[in-house]
Amino acid sequence: MNEGIKLSVDVLIKPFEGYARRLPNGDCVAYPDPATGAEPWTIGYGSTGSGIGPGTMWSKDQAEQRLQEHVRYFSQGLVRLSPKLLQASPRRFAAVLSWAYNCGLGNYRISTFKKRVDAGDWDGAASECLKWNKAAGRVLPGLTRRRQAESMLMR
């Protein structure tokens, strides 16, 4: 699982989330959701939640710490929801973790994607994954690229 977590962070989460709105001193500042232009406000490597809004500023260390906390939270949540993921290859675990980090455990819990993962139907999971490329009803090119990368790792 640790290899899958590292792969997810290094190959999927950090590159696709990015370290957005970096300031000249290396800190970062919150920005509005690209799809809505407002909520949810995001900072660091895709962190959202209470206390994050216009004007929120974090150091690079704060962003890295929150990333690690979120990755731990999502990986533990995935294993609770889909215990068989512990038997998946690191690349498949990485892909599912990246998806959950981006789409949320609530969406994962109710998705056909999860049903395919739980059944060990990796081709089906890869196909379902591709459907999650929209935000606020609009297809986003960045989400399409991310889902393609995740899908490729599941096959």
N- to C-terminal Cα distance for the chain?
18
What is the spatial distance between Cα 57 and Cα 92, in angstroms, rounded to a whole number? Answer: 34
- The residue with tokens 């060990």 is 120
Kindly list the catalytic residues: 17
**Quick one: 133 exposed, middle or buried, by C-beta within 10 A (0-12, 13-18, 19+)?**
middle
Q: Which residues pair with 31 in a beta bridge?
A: 42
Write the CA distances from 54 to 24, 32, 36, 102, 135, integer angstroms.
18, 8, 14, 21, 20
Nearest to 103 by CA among 7, 3, 38, 12: 12
Nearest to 72 by CA among 116, 145, 8: 8
